[in-house]
Each structure stands twice: as C-alpha cells, then as structure tokens.
Structure 1
C-alpha cells in the first residue's frame, strides 16, 4: 500500500479556503470532542490513568481550549458517521488492537478529511500489518526495545510547539523507552528526543538522535505521536500532562502548530553562482566570508588565491612573493547577478614553498556597518601586500573601512580608513582568523588567529619557544594567543567612530593600565583562541558565538595533554578561553621551555595560568580560563577523562567518556555559524520557521562525519561552559557529499530568513569549479490548521 506523505498540501488547501471565506467542513464541531480508544486487553491501571488524564485535560484551561472526552475499547465506533463527530482520535494502551478493513478505511477517511490523531506509547504497536497506520504513527518500536521503566533525560528541542512549549530543556523522567525499527528523523517533525547516555537503551539503540515525540501533517490531517506514557505514573506527571494537552489542542484544532519545520523535503538548496570563466574570478574568489545587507544583497570575499593553475610566487627575493587578489563580490537576489566590486592586492596567495606551506593571510573578514543602508561603509580584515617586510618575514594585518558606491557597484579603494593595524609573522604557517560582527551598541568584534605554526610541538600545545626567524618565534602561541600584550589569537572589541578612528568600550578584558601600563592591550575582549575564523553576535542578547580550530595531535597524551580539540563557545563576557594552556572543559597541557623544549615541565593551572615564555612581553599571571561549550577530537565529541587529586585528566583513551556523542571528528576545522532569530513580521515565504529561533548553527569545513548541527543551549550556564542540551543534524537540509556543499566556509541568515552558505570548493588556496555561493530556503508552508479551520475562532 502506498503511504501518502502530504507536507504542504493540506495547509495550502486550508489557507485557500480561509482566503476565499469558505466555511470549514472538517470533522468535529464548535464544541470539540475527543475519542479515546484503547485495547480491550490493555493494562487496566495504566489505561484508567490515561483516560482520566485526558478527561481532566479536556476540562482544564480557558473555556476556548476545553473539549469533551469519550473513551471506548470497542472498535465498532470506527465508522464514517461516528468518527465525524470527533475533532481528534487518541490511541491509548492500544498494543495489539486491530481494526478490520472497514474500520481502518473509516479512520483513513477521517484523517484525510482533516481529522486529528494522537498516538500514545504502545499505540505504535496497533494495526501491526497496516502500512498506512505505520505512516500515521511515523515508525514502529523495535522488537528489542527495553521493556522496563528507566529514568532518562528528554531533550526538548521544539520550544514553540504547544506540546513542548514551557517544558524543561532537559526533562528527567521515568518511562519505558522504545527503540525504533527505522528512525523517523527527517520524515516527521521531532519535538523531543531521549538522551541515550542517561539510561540503558539496549543493543538496537538509535544513538544520539533518538526521537521520542513527533508530529506531522499527514494524509490531509494532523498526527501527533509520543513514545512516552508507558507507565501509569506518567499520567500523573504535570509536565507529561502538559505535553499531552498540547498535542490534543493541536490535533483537535484548538491550537496551531508548525509540524513541518524539520521535514527535510521542505527545504530547497540552490547553487547561485556558476563556475568562474577560465582564468578569471568573475563569480567568486577563494571563498572566505560573507555578510548580507538589509536589502538582501550578499557581499562575499575571496582570501587571495586564484584559479587552480594560476602561478604562485614563492621566492622571498621576488617582490611579488605571495601576491594575490583579495576579492569582494556582490550577489543581488533581485537580479540574480554577480558583480566583482573590488580586488585588493593582498599577501596570501600561498600554497607551497619553504616554510610557507599554509600561509592563511589575505582578505579574511568582511562586515557591513550597522548603518550601511545610509553610509555604505564596509569593513575588511586583511593583509595588504604593500606592507610586507620580505627580510623580516613580517606583515601588517589591519581592519579598514571602505565606502561602497551603490551607483557603480564598486568599492572605492581610495576611501580606505585604517581603524586598527598590528604586526603578524608570515615566515611560517598559520592562523589568521578573520571573523567580524557588530553588537547592538555598534561595537565591532574582530577575531584574530594566533599566527602560530603547529609543526613544532607534536600537535599538542603550541608552546615551543625555540624556532624563530630573526628573533620572532613562530611556534610559541604564548607569544600571541597567550600574551596579554599582543592582538593575535584574540577576539577584539572596539567601537568605530565616524572619523575613521575607534574607541574602546567598557567591559573588555584589560584596561591597558595593568601593572602601570605597557603589559596589556585594552582592545582585547577574549584571549586564548587559536584560529577563530567565524564569529557571530546574537542581536537579542549581544552574546558572542565563536569557534576555533585546534592543534594536530590525533590522540591524547598522558605526557603532553589532550588531542586536537576544535572548539565552539558562547561568550557572554570578557575572558580567557585557554589556548595554549588549556582546552575543552579546562583540560590542561604540559608546559615546556628553554633550554630543552622536548622535556615536559609542570601541567598548566587552568585556574591561575602563567605565561613564562621567553617571548612574552605581557603579564605573567593571566586571567583564569573559562571552559568551552563544545569540543571534539578525532575520537568524538566532548572527550573527558577521570582526574587525579590535582585535577589532571588521565588522558588515557580507554578511560575516555564522550560527553557529546553527536559529534565526530577526524580532519576538522570549525565553522561556527549564526544564532537564528525568527522575524514574526517578515512577509517572506522562504524564511526558516520559528522552530529554529534561538538555535545556534555549528559546523565544520569538512562534510564527512564532522558537525553540521543546530544546537540548543541553556542560557543559565551557556557562558560558563555548559554543554548543549539538544542537537540535531543539518546534513540533509544543508546537503553534503558530491553535488552538495562539501566544504562549508561561512553561513548567515538573510533578512528574508533564508540561509546563504559559501562552499570553499575543493583543494586549498584557490577558487575552483566547486567554489560557490548557495541559498537554502524553506518551502514547507504555514502552521496548521489554517485560522479559518480552528474549532473555536
């Protein structure tokens, strides 16, 4: 039998009726009734508790939300005539219940005519031979599911659905937890998941993505299923009753809900830019960042690489060493055309030669002024080729303001005002950072990399003081990220002024006057970050969301410390995020120093780190380190270890616990994304729905097993390293693999609520045929039922 999955059609039909002023002819009446059906052999105590709970829920709340309840174990009620009297049908304690062909046909026609259905727990075992009923439920319990109640944590991912609105983010409760024959994620809209690491899920468990309650618009009607409710005590719990009541309100047409928001077929991903013309950068440069104007135009930059076979100068004696084009392109959605708005001469076209194996300088960041619509100011974070010192192997990184000419569509390079500039080493690899964003007060955040090589510490803490070029170390991040007097390896916060200068807002990490001055930089908001390529400020809270790439060690070491940890963090105030002293949830590295950096010294103290590098010109005693929210290694997400009496982890792989099992590493490079804010006033028909409001998008450059997720944080502990309380994969919405977005470089939501994504392309340090700007839109339609179809209006 064919299972018909209708996502947008019922909603569209209902809205068409409403627009035409037509009366609704849906099952039920203005005085709603709910039918509770249960099996004749169902557990008596649980069944009675469930029926009494539904009856009580029908009598609760405002008069406009009340409904009458009838219950039966007699399947003969399933006739076309009798079912039309009910707004919703509930299957409760229905394991083994079987409707005959005529009775199921009546239920099918009831649903197809717009009726509502609620399945509770073992309703998923009713009608075991019916494919249509399997589609109505969404999945079937696996035969190996645990049979006994266990206490577990439910992650409530949907914060707006009436069935989950107001429930705890992390909801600990006792129940019988089903595994599923097939995971329904992506085909249904999941509102809650059960966290498997909090109980014993059995051999056939789902893993980190274990849906437990979901809904969808199905075959013309509305279906809600919860795998909870497997114990008598469930129906006495206030939160479970709230959950069940919300499901009943939606299915009875007493409330509206969006049950389409995470159904993957409701999203469309479109590549917007074709490949460049041969030996040209007419569509896109080496993708490295984007920002979006209020009118929807997308401004995106190329770092400095050219097309794949373009020549690269690697000889330091050549004046053009590393010379490349830092490009600014503009995509206009109104015309669907791309304009090359600027090409800056940058140092950064480097992919090989000597120590310059992976120089990442160039044009690395872009942000539009908050008043761009009026002043046309654009800020670029870049490394001008004109300022390099070929003998010292030093360059100048700067943040400059330029004026965009809307008439010509060009960036006026002569309009440059340099806000801030500082020295960076370019003798050796890596880490330029680049991300920028504004907060609601007009403060500009600037993410800078530690400009530090990873090749001289076996991939652990970047703290080797020995290698240097003309006295400038390039393998000791204590000189940069761990130095209070250096702007590299930081997130800076300044306030640009109209005259092209800047002031420093209050509340940064330092004042500049510590120890009499000369030891700190007041521009520093966050220190101890390695390579923060992407940052974003939540416009509602002004919290900063950031991610940075970790070092290269493939495994932890009981001598040196943790493996490579790529990191995401919610930053609510100025602080020290650890690199190169501690990573993850404050897991320390081992110190090293001259005369023999191969010999380990003491473990760093994350509460009171000290910078005793010979290259440190800042404070020795540093601010305490704040733990980070998300970290992952090649072994998985959130590695943690037992700690000894001194708080030092064992760093033994066989003792590892993965606190974030939805994450997998390997080759990894964090690309932190935006925190989505849904605009209720938008007239857009492509906006991602309100379900995603407040969710933080975290991803990785790579698309294999690395993260591409939306996560929910607990505001009460997010700023202090609290773990995410919920995560869901975006791989099926932001497509991975061949033909999709393989190398995610940047992503932002536009004013119309659609998502723009830059795909870096294939390989490194060039733009190739896969380098592209993409747009992902929502096609799922509005919430259901339509306003005209509500039972009480």
Structure 2
C-alpha cells in the first residue's frame, strides 16, 4: 500500500475557529502524516475556505477532516459535492465540534452519527475513557482505561446501535451535567455510511489535548481507516447487522420430540448442537409429589441434537431422573434432574458425552436423599443415539432432595482435558429471611437443608463447589495439580481433593476459556430484596473470573467481600458476630470439614435489585453500614430484579474460518454475561483487565447485547445457556415462559452476523483504486 504523495488528507476548519485549537489540530494531523511509516504516510492540506468543496477538488483527497467546524459552513452546492465525494468512497473524520456542523442537514447528521445536547458541559474536565474496541486501528494499543482532560459532549440522542462505538466516556468519573447520557456514553465511533467511511470522535475539545501521544495514536488510526490505508469492522455493534433465528419448532402435543425443559448445551466441532432437558414435561403433564408413591419426581431428562447440515432435531437419549415435582413451595418443588452436558475434547473420535444428573433409581424416599452423578456415555454413530448401556459413573455424591433448591449443573473442559463440574449448595434461604443461608436448625432425617455451611462452606462436601477432575479412559478420574485441597490436610478426612472452588451458591453455568484456561462462573444469590444493617447484604447475583483455586465466599461473604452475620443454636433468629472474610471459620454443627477455611475472595460482578455492584462505607472492622441511603453503585450499567445469573462464553475470533456469519473480531476476548430474565437484567459483553481480573477487578467496559440477542415475548426472553459454535455464531437456549416444563417458547436459537467483511474491501485499499480517482 503506497503512501506519501499518493495519499492526501484535507483538513477543514471554520474561519472563526479558535486559533489555538485549529492550529493544534492541524499540527497534529500534519505530524501524523509526516511521521508515519512510509507505507502509511500522507500529505496534508489545511484550509478554512469552503470553496474547496467541489467535485474536482475533493477527488484529490482520500479523507476530509472537519476540525473546529461547527455551524452552517457549506452552501447547498458544496454539500452536494461533499455528499457525492462520500458516496464515491471518500472518507470523513469529524473532531469534537464537527458534531455541530451543518445543523439543518439530515444527511450530515447521519454522517456524524449524533448531535450534541444543548446542555453539554462547556469546561474541560478530567475523565476516564473506556476503550472497548481492542482491534480497530483507532483504538488498538490504547489503554483499557484512558484518563484525559477534554470538553465532554452529551448527545441529544444516543447513537449506540446505529454506529459502531470504539470508546465511551465513564460518566461517574466527571460531572456530565443535566443532559448526561448514562453509563452508555459514546465518545468515539465509526460507520460505513452512504458508500464511504465516517469516523467521529468527541475528543479534541482543547488545544493541549492534541499533544498527547495516545490521542495522536487514536487520530492516526481513524485516518488510516478513512483514507483506505487500513481495514476495520465498523459494523460490529450495529444491531441491524445481527440476525436471530429460531432453530427448533415447538414440540408436538404430549411429546418432547424437539426440546425438553432447557437446561444446557454443548457444541461439537462439526457444528452439531447437543442440548439437554432437565426433567419437566409438557405444560399440564402430571407430576408426582407424594413421597409414598414410588414414581415421586420421576421425569425425563432429554438429550436432543440439532444438525446444521439438515437443520433437523433428533432425540438422542432419555434418562429417568428425579426432579419432576412441579412448582410451588420450597418443600414441594425441586431442581434436580439432568443438569449439565459436556462433550469430550475428542468427541468426534470417541463419541463420549458427559452428563451431570440425578438418577431416579437412586433416591431414598425414606430419608429424602439422592445420589447425584457425573456419567460418561457413548453416542452410537450409526443410530445417533446415546448408548445407555455404555455408562461409566465418573463421580457420585449425596444430595438432599427434601427441600429445593440450587443444583448447579454447568460443566466444561479446559485445554488439558480437565473436567470442571459446577454443583449447587442444595440449600434453602427461606429459613434465613433471604440473607445468608446459614440456619442450622431445620433438618429432615438429621440432614440440614437450610445451612449452606454444611455444603458450600464445607471443605469435605462436594456441593456448592466447582470441582476439577481429569477423566481417564477407564472411566475413573485423577486429580490435577493446583486444586484447593489435596485430601491430606491436617486432621485427616476433612477435605475433598476434587474441589477447585468452594463458596458458590448455584452455579448453573460455567465456561473455561481454552486460550487462557481461566474459569468463568456465575451463580444466583439469596432472596433478600434489600440490605440489612442487622444481617448483611441483599440478594447478590454474582459473576467471577477464576484463575486459581479458592473460596468465593458463600454463605459467609458476597460481592467484594461483604460479610453476613453468623447464626447459631439455640436461637438462629438472634444475630451473632459478623463473619471475618479474611479469617473464615466454619463453626456450624453441620460441618464435617475443616473449621478454619480459606479466606473469601473478591468477585468481579455482583448485582442487587437496586443496581450493579452495591458498595457501602465500612467501619474500622471492615463491616459495611448496609444502609440503603449509603449505597453507591460501581457498575451503573447493571440492574437487578428477578436475578438468575447465567454466565456465557468468552468469544474467540477465528481469522482462518471461512464462515460468512461469524461474529467480528471486535468481540474477541470479551466475556458474555447475562441473566435468565430480560428487561433491566444484565445481557452484556464485558472487557476485563487481565492484570486484575483474577483478583476481582471490575469490568473495564460493558457492551449491551439487548438488541443483538433480542429480548421480549417473541425473542430470547429467558436465557438458559449460550455458547459460540465453530461457525462463529452464537447459539442460545431460551427456557420458555413457565417453570419446570417444556414450553412452546422453549427453543434453541442462533444469532449470526450479517454485516459483511471489514471495510474497505481489499480491492478498495490505496494502491488498487487510487489511480482511478485521479
């Protein structure tokens, strides 16, 4: 790609522009063009004479920069010439006040993308820019969090979804004024517009700002793209570029022929999607709740397969599970059943499928106990069905089934072939007023069902954990190095070496990023609607990046290590001391493990009905006030409400894939988090700082997915699981519109990118077409 004399940039500013600002901007563009490597160098012309806007003159330039150019500066004929220039493939860069240029022109409004609000703050302020696009030439290499002083514009109408935002300004880092845009406050964006390329940045409001190396890097990248010296995807977050397609039809009457009660999925390397049904039948199907009936809780755990070659769904297998008790009281409903699926890393060769489930045949109706297990089955290649006789029980452990809830279920493999298994605390928070599930009193047959210290907080119990084991060919498993316990800790027999993470409540979904082997998990919080100065934090649903073995805190501490109050006999209604998150002790009478347990760690994301990442002032002992008037919200893009955290994948862009519908490179490395519910619940892609993600660092940037993974009654309303396939498309399970049943809205969906390749196209790059343009 030749640079130098072959590439020209026109810088235009208003005749009455502030002299220092115009000079600084022109000087910065000239310096960028002069000091660039030879293949991306360009010549710069600066003018305040609008007479340059003619067809013949504009054809000489690869890009036009509007600098300090607010107001009505072009005649109708000049705007027509400029419009023709853009339509012929010309590039446009708007800086700061360019958003006020040609205020009566609808076409110019589209070119820029947004207009400033009348009440934008006028003075320069120091603020933090969140650099969400890590691959665009204008932001590649910039800090994740870029602190700078500038004049920050508010927008009359937020352009997000119509343009591709590459950076946002964090409003809580400065005073945005009355017309603030909220957490989603774009500051720099681009779009393919009317045949050409448009890049706008709200930065550049001060002369001193042009001297910064990061700003020049930002502006240089914008010029590379608009001059056709580099390619970039400026449609990656334009919501109209995504298409959501329902892949499964509703079941036929009284038949789970296409989908069961959705509860998880995995995707083979050949694109087949395997998805499971927990155990609920069709709406209105009978359930048995009488413990004297041998059929109590009997349900169908289903495995279905969607084939991308045929578009057809087949039912690959059915397991008789316990868990079909319907809804109602916590002593009636149950969340056991077929809970998780993971395909062997060599599935296409060996056909092995791992299922996390609760067999009906193993229940103890007298004691209300069951044996949960992880089993390995083989898929018969000829019939396409699971060979139930091939079962190898990898792992089995007891669970109480007297009271709902929290079975967990998620499973995934890392790059070393280790299998992670997420288990819930099988505990009710009903008997602790929705705060810490730590009431030791209620039990059935001597087994507590309201004290998560018996499970999640117990070093000798596999419930309320994320386990990590290495399956062996003979159906057994070995223990990888680096788990939380060895099994040989002092005291003997009080730890389980399978435990990788303890202190989780109900991790229905987990994901392991094969590139880093980091574990991403989410779990549902308790039921308290508000924080309590007596008992502790409200219902915090949680997401965490887990890079090493440890304790995530439940039922002692939540969020950023906010402690609960202890309960004990003989009167659990009376609060005891606050838990010390640094020196946790399990003194529950139901504990069978160590008394001194690992300290609680910070989590990355927590959200309550009041908002995202609630935090409070703390006293000298580190205990928050837990007064609602004291709350601050560190993640303003988050709201709570129904709250059922469903972590998603980390997207990894495959440049070698020839898929025409794969998601763009913009999403590479972003972590997808969502909630079972739609509305104000999270459905976002997060940028994490690798330097602190494993230590509970907050997300640096959040991108809304509400329009891309569409919400609403006819969309993906109840998000149950989501993963990217080898085609780079996102596959999503919608649970349906009821509970404990397969509903007509229960469905597998695929979300594809329809925005085309990055621009300019290879044939449009400088050197291929420049000679045609004179």
Superposition pairs for residues 180-195 of structure 1, below 5 Å?
180-195=155-170
Partner of 1:404: 379
CA distance in 1, matches of 2:141, 2:743: 48
TM-score (norm 1): 0.96
Q: Residue 91 of structure 1 corresponds to which residue in structure 2?
A: 66
User: What per-residue deviation string (whole Å, max 9, x for no partner) do you get for residues 649-688 of structure 1?
Assistant: 0001111000000000011100000000000110100100
1:541-556, aligned counterparts within 5 Å? 541-556=516-531
1:627 aligns with 2:602: yes
Q: Is the 8 A contact 1:254 1:791 kept in 2?
A: yes
Helix, strand or coil for the counterpart of 1:59? Answer: helix
1:706-725 counterparts in 2 under 5 A? 706-725=681-700
Give 3-state SS (helix, strand or coil) of 2:454's partner.
Answer: coil
For structure 1, the 5+ residue unaligned runs are 1-23
- Cα deviation digits, residues 683-730 of structure 1 (max 9, x gap): 100100100000000000000110000000000000000000000110
**Aligned pair partner of 2:502 in 515, 527, 544:** 527
Q: Corresponding residue for 1:472?
A: 447
Equivalent of 1:34, from 9, 14, 30? Answer: 9
Q: C-alpha distance in 1, partners of 2:573/2:711? A: 41
Distance 1:408 1:196 in 2: 58
Matched residue SS, 1:152: strand
Which of 598, 602, 612 is the equivalent residue of 1:637?
612
Equivalences for residues 107-506 of structure 1 within 5 A? 107-352=82-327, 355-506=330-481
Q: What corresponds to 2:579 in structure 1? A: 604
Alignment of 1:728-767 (within 5 A): 728-767=703-742
Q: How far 1:357 sits from its partner (Å)?
A: 3.3
Shift of 1:516: 3.9
| CA deviation after TM superposition for structure 1 residue 749, in Å | 0.2
Task: Provide the alpha-carbon RMSD of the alignment.
Answer: 1.2
Q: Deviations over 1:259-316 (max 9, x none)?
A: 0100001000000111000000000000000000000000000000000010000000
Measured after TM superposition, the shift of residue 61 of structure 1 is: 2.3
> Does the 8 Å CA contact 1:295/1:751 hold for their aligned counterparts?
yes
Q: Which residues of 2 match residues 581-600 of structure 1 at below 5 A? A: 581-600=556-575
Counterpart CA distance in 2 for 1:264 and 1:255 is: 24
Does 1:78 pair with 2:53?
yes
Q: 1:67-94 CA deviation, whole Å, 9 max, x = no partner?
A: 0000000000000000000000000010
Q: 1:360 & 1:557 partners in 2: Cα distance? A: 28
Match of 1:646 among 606, 618, 621: 621
Q: Which residue is 1:16 aligned to?
A: none
Give how far 1:606 is off. Answer: 0.5
Q: Please tell me whether the aligned partners of residues 39 and 97 of structure 1 are also in contact (alpha carbons under 8 angstroms).
A: no
Quote how far apart the aligned CAs of 1:30 are: 6.8
CA offset at residue 454 of structure 1?
Answer: 1.6
| Structure 2 residue 483 is matched with structure 1 residue 508 | yes
Q: How far has the Cα of 1:353 moved from its partner?
A: 6.5
| Runs of 4+ more than 6 Å apart | none
- Residue 691 (1) aligns with residue 652 (2): no
Give the 3-state SS of the residue equivalent to 1:370 in structure 2.
Answer: coil
3-state SS, counterpart of residue 785 of structure 1: coil
**For the residues of structure 2 that align with 1:180 and 1:321, how far apart are their CA atoms?**
59
Distance 2:215 2:266 in 1: 43
The CA distance in 2 between the partners of 1:29 and 1:302, in whole Å, is 62
Distance, in Å, in 2 between the alignment partners of 1:204 and 1:105 is 33
How far apart, CA to CA, are the structure 1 residues paired with 2:254 and 2:152? 59
Secondary structure at the counterpart of residue 146 of structure 1: coil
Kindly tell me the number of residue pairs found equivalent between the two proteins. 768
Q: Which residue of 2 aligns with 1:5?
A: none
Inter-partner Cα distance in structure 2 for 1:199 and 1:70: 36
- Cα distance in 1 for partners of 2:492, 2:377 equals 32
Deviations 1:580-600 (A, max 9, x none): 000000000000100110010
Q: Are 2:515 and 1:540 equivalent residues in the alignment?
A: yes
Determine helix, strand or coil for the equivalent of 1:742.
coil
Q: Deviations over 1:333-373 (max 9, x none)?
A: 11000000111000011224665333100000000000001
Match of 1:18 in 2: none
SS in 2 for 1:32: strand
**Alpha-carbon separation, structure 2, partners of 1:279 and 1:321:** 20
Q: Distance in 2 between matches of 1:738 and 1:362?
A: 27
Shift of residue 96, structure 1, vs aligned partner: 1.6
Shift of 1:55: 0.3
Q: How does 1:16-31 map onto structure 2 within 5 Å?
A: 31=6
